[in-house]
Structure 1
Amino acid sequence: MHMLRRTRKAAFALVTALAVGQAHSFDFDTGNAPAEVIIPTIIPVILEDVSPGASDATLVLRNTTLVTNAWFDAIAPYHPTAVGVYTRHAHRLSEPTDSEKNTAIFYASYQVMKSLHPNRMATWDAMMNSVGLDPSDDSTDPNTPVGLGNLAGMNVVLNRENDGMNQLGNIAADGTPAKYHRVPYQDYTGYVPKNPANKLLFPSKWQPAQVSTGNGLFKVQQFVTPQLKNVTPYSYNSPKRFRAPKPWNSFVLNWSGYVNQAQAVLEASANLTEQQKLKAEFFDNKFRSLGFSALQAAGLNQLTLMEFVQLDFLVNVAAFDTAIAIWQEKYRHDAVRPFSAIGFIWGDSPVTSWGGPGLGTVNDMPANQWQSYMKVADHPEYPSASASFCAAHALAARQFLGNDNLFWHVPVPAGQSVVEPGITPAADTEIVFNTWTEFEQDCGESRVWGGVHFPDAVPAGQAIGHRIGALAYDFVMDHIEGTP
């Protein structure tokens, strides 16, 4: 059974069940609660409330990591040796089915999602009711799956609500305790961009883009969650041990390097292939790429429910802990994005590049009007976050699974491009990742193809991702083996 296909069917069934107020036909004995019910319930909420394109990785990863942490802790007692990260209970006799594990996972998820999205209580209650569980059952009896799940979720919340991310908005912008008008995830580091959106005063530094919100409205970007660099990691003590080399080619005084890396981005833009466009979009969406790759691996390797939870927690920890170090480095280097540098170098002179949706390559694009294929992310350029996440994720998965196999064929119907709808691809096609190595390599390169990163940002991100992916693997395996 292909787990991704099953998940999509389950998502449709769940939405239908919730809409008509009926119970979802989930089999507790043989089913996979995360893949069949919980993930399909959480994704629409994150897409609507957090990140419409699932590209705002810091907040997406926070949601997925805390939820998978709760799953891991909830069913650790059903493993012969495993112990939870925040919850430790005596081991139980192996169950003949997965019924108790699935029950514990549901209640653990419920507790975490209440904390992350308290305005969505109706959704979380409906999810529980749809599978015949009582959302008001707040038992903390560790001798029951309900109690194990509640305790696991509650302890993740207890340890993570005040982990430096400012989830509750109880730290004001000046770093003092907030008493009034609390803003969840508000920056308290005092970060201020060196450049305004309308003028590049410091050509080596990040410039917020002015982006359209539709209907003639525009907004200026803000550095998304710069305080992530202060968040408590899982697998190491301090991100200060991870340093990316200085991006010398982004220093304007190194003029030849500055121009050469901008030309490299323009060349990639001018020569975009259909496959490159589709992969750039694919990796920009962290659910489609990072999230569903774990489902593909689970199906390919025929993982049990326990093994799936362990893998999913592992790859999330790898990416989450990598994000903390990468955000430290983004904050430290504060590097310029391609769109700013290209306009600065060539002004209104024409450049050859992708011209916009459906226009292909043009030779008369004014450099100061140049746009990348993908939307510009709302944080400094260096190092590449996406490249680092994929590197950490892929390395951790390879080590856990014991092989590099992925064999993932992702179908893309004609005209289903996000950037060029109705145009790209010209016919039904697919993008293919035979190995995890191909997956992480294409992920990194896609950020250059998409025009949002200079080439040097990719290996700089991958190097940090590989180091932290290995640490995350050791961290999770120590908990699986009962020796954290």
Structure 2
Amino acid sequence: MALCSAVLIGATVAVAPMTAHLNRPAAAAAAFDFDKGNAVTGLLWVRVGNVIKTIVSPRGNDATLVFRIAALSATAQFDAIAPYHPTAVGIYSDLGRRPASEAATNRNKNIAILYASYRVYSSLVPQASAEWRALLTDVGLDPDDDQENTDTPIGIGNRAGKAVIAARAHDGMNQLGDEGGRKYNRQPYSDYVGYRPVNTAYRLEHPSRWQPATVTKGNGIFTVQQFVTPQMGVTKPFSYADVKDFPVPPPHNSDARNQKGYKQQVDEILATSAGLTDKQKMIAEFFDDKFRGIGFSSGNIAVNKGVSLDRFIEHTAAADIAGFDALIAAWAAKVKYDAVRPWSAVRHVYGGKRVTAWGGPGKGTVRDLPADQWQNYLDVPDHSEYPSGSTSVCAAVAQSGRRTFGTDEITLSFRFAKGASFVEPGITPAADTTLSWTTWSDWMRDCGLSRLYGGVHFKSAIAASSELGPKIGDRAYELVRRHVEGRTGPES
């Protein structure tokens, strides 16, 4: 994913708290090697993630917007280098074929990638226009060069980026805030499908259904959650035609009439909460940050395989499209089933009775916690519980990665320094902790379990998403593969 912002250190990444500094020193950026480097890992990884976190998603956990930005930018990057490939054709543009001599080094491809990315980021996050311009000026490129001459990498990059923007501006996500015919005072990404919760934040009338929580930043101001981008479920996918091709079975245990199943999954959440280890907490935090937990993981796996720039871009395009398209299917089911979160279900089952669970930051496991004061380890998500969006994405990304590299084997390792937790800063983990994976399957499994550890999903949601994601990962891989091979006609 071109949105990653952690720092690459060999095969291991030292994960530190994000800072508010958006700009990398210009001198460091100017040292980028256009002929041998990779503009995504060498430039965009360092800077883009911090910008998106500052403006869009401070903790990187707003999956729908994060993965839309990732999918559109990765597609633009793929389309920008397609003219330098022997057979490839862009997903949203066909910009011809450049001579093989122009692809002898990475220079032209990197320039095209940067201009395509600049156009997409400027469209999706215009608030950061100064930073996007600096992405180019810091390496000696002119952001005002808007030529569309396909004999030049600048023109190719501009056209590739603009084509993706045009194709996705009205894809259903309401990027421009004009869906439903709204002309004035537009609100980008606002709901136009008319979702309304059946429960209020103050009363759980329907214990099977999602309840918006009341949240605060600790400043005395409390707000009621709104279901984030419910229109995601009707957004146009990249890799398939109809979300109905990927049905998700109903969450029977979240039906309050199924008292045994309902209580059983609540008790499982409480038992997990009570038994949290430092490693489980770090797994929960790692995957909750979609930049480093999913995007950077996927990209770092490719880096560790030593792939070429072309191969890297093919992988990230397939992976990011897979993640975005998996979220579309997951969100359609989320709106359809509108299932209760553990946060509400624990209160419904136990009310004010004392339970044993994690007692909050720095409290460890306590045995006298009133159930109506129980909290997830992670923040309460602002959408319904079933299925798990994060697990759907991980499962889709893992499958696309298996297909791209022809193996389940990976090399991936991340290190958390002592006390690096954002939930329990200075306390957790008690010692430096390394998370490592050697297969996509293990990485995907921990991604799913991270939602259980975080207290935000029941196991049934994780299981359903683990079944859903790979099917879409296959579709995304096959879409990108067709375009790599130039098989883009109706017969393909």
TM-score range, shorter chain: over 0.9
2:392 matched residue in structure 1: 388
- What is the match of residue 475 of structure 2? 471
Aligned counterpart, 1:85: 91
Q: Provide the C-alpha distance between the structure 2 equivalents of 1:238 and 1:49, rounded to a whole number of angstroms.
A: 32
> Which residue in the other structure is 1:315 paired with?
319
Q: What is residue 205 of structure 1 aligned with on the other side? A: 209
Compute the displacement of 1:273 (Å): 1.2
Q: Deviations over 1:253-303 (max 9, x none)?
A: 111111011001011111111111100000000011111112321222111
Aligned to 2:112: 104
Equivalent residue number for residue 381 of structure 2: 377
- Preserved contact between residue 23 and residue 132 of structure 1 (Cα < 8 Å): no
Q: Which digits, 9 at most, give the CA deviation of each residue in 1:116-154, with x for residues without a partner?
A: 112221111111100000111111111111111000000
Aligned residues: 476
CA deviations on 1:219-271 (whole Å, 9 max, x unpaired) are 11111000011111011001012111111100111111110110010111111
Superposed CA deviations along residues 181-222 of structure 1, whole A, max 9, x for unmatched, are: 100001001000010001100000000011112311111111
1:264 alignment partner, one of 262, 268, 271? 268
Distance 1:136 1:299 in 2: 32
SS at match of 1:456: helix
Q: Which residues of 2 match residues 166-181 of structure 1 at below 5 A?
A: 166-171=174-179, 176-181=180-185
Residue 141, structure 1, aligned to residue 149, structure 2: yes
- Which piece of structure 1 moves more, 360-369 or 293-302? 293-302
Q: Deviations over 1:18-57 (max 9, x none)?
A: 4x8x862111101111111123221111101111000000
Q: Which runs of 5+ in 1 are unaligned?
A: none
d(CA) in 1 for partners of 2:121, 2:461? 34
2:436 partner SS: strand
Instruction: Map 1:221-370 onto structure 2 (within 5 A).
Output: 221-370=225-374
Give the deviation of 1:6 after TM superposition: 7.2
Alignment match of 1:34 (pick from 36, 40, 44) = 40
Q: Which runs of 5+ in 2 are unaligned?
A: 1-5
Structure 1 counterpart of 2:366, one-letter code: V
* Aligned counterparts of 2:230 and 2:429: Cα–Cα separation in 1: 36
8 Å contact from structure 2 (residues 352, 370) kept in 1: yes
Aligned amino acid, residue 292 of structure 1: F
The CA distance in 2 between the partners of 1:228 and 1:443, in whole Å, is 22
Aligned partner of 2:427 among 416, 423, 426: 423
**Quick one: distance in 1 between partners of 2:357 and 2:301?**
37
Which residue is 2:168 aligned to? 160
Counterpart in the other structure of 2:136:
128
CA distance in 2, matches of 1:198, 1:271: 29
Match of 2:197 in 1: 193
Q: 1:57 aligns with which of 57, 63, 88?
A: 63
The alpha-carbon distance between structure 1 residues 16 and 6, as it changes in their structure 2 partners (threshold 3 A), is: farther
1:219 aligns with 2:227: no
Code of the residue aligned with 2:272 in structure 1: it is: A
Deviation at 1:16, TM superposition (A): 4.0
Report sequence identity in percent.
Answer: 48
On the 8 A contact 1:4/1:292 being kept in 2, the answer is: no
SS of the equivalent of 1:43 reads helix
Contact 2:398 2:444 in 1 (8 A): yes
Residue 46 (structure 1) aligned with residue 52 (structure 2): yes
Which residue in the other structure is 1:412 paired with? 416
Partner of 1:5, secondary structure, is coil
**Letter paired with 2:157:** G
How far off is 1:407 after superposition? 2.2
Following superposition, which runs of at least 4 residues in structure 1 exceed 4 angstroms of deviation? 6-9, 11-14
Q: TM-score, normalised by structure 1?
A: 0.95
TM-score (norm 2): 0.94
Q: Is structure 2 residue 486 aligned with structure 1 residue 482?
A: yes
Q: Partners of 1:23 and 1:388 in 2: how far apart? A: 35
Letter in 1 for 2:189: Y
Distance 1:415 1:328 in 2: 38
Between 154-163 and 427-436, report the one with greater CA deviation.
427-436
| Paired residues of 2:22 and 2:131 also in contact (CA < 8 A) | no
Give the alignment's Cα RMSD to 1 decimal: 1.9
Q: How big is the shift at 1:447?
A: 0.6
What secondary structure, in the 3-state scheme, does the structure 2 residue paired with 1:441 have?
helix
In structure 2, the partner of 1:24 is 30
- Closer, same or farther: CA 133–146 of 1 in aligned 2, 3 Å: same
Q: Letter of the 1:81 partner, please give it.
A: T
Q: Measure the CA separation in 2 of the matches of 1:420 and 1:16.
A: 28
How far did 1:89 drift? 2.3
Q: Which residue of 1 aligns with 2:3?
A: none
**Helix, strand or coil at the partner of 1:433:** strand
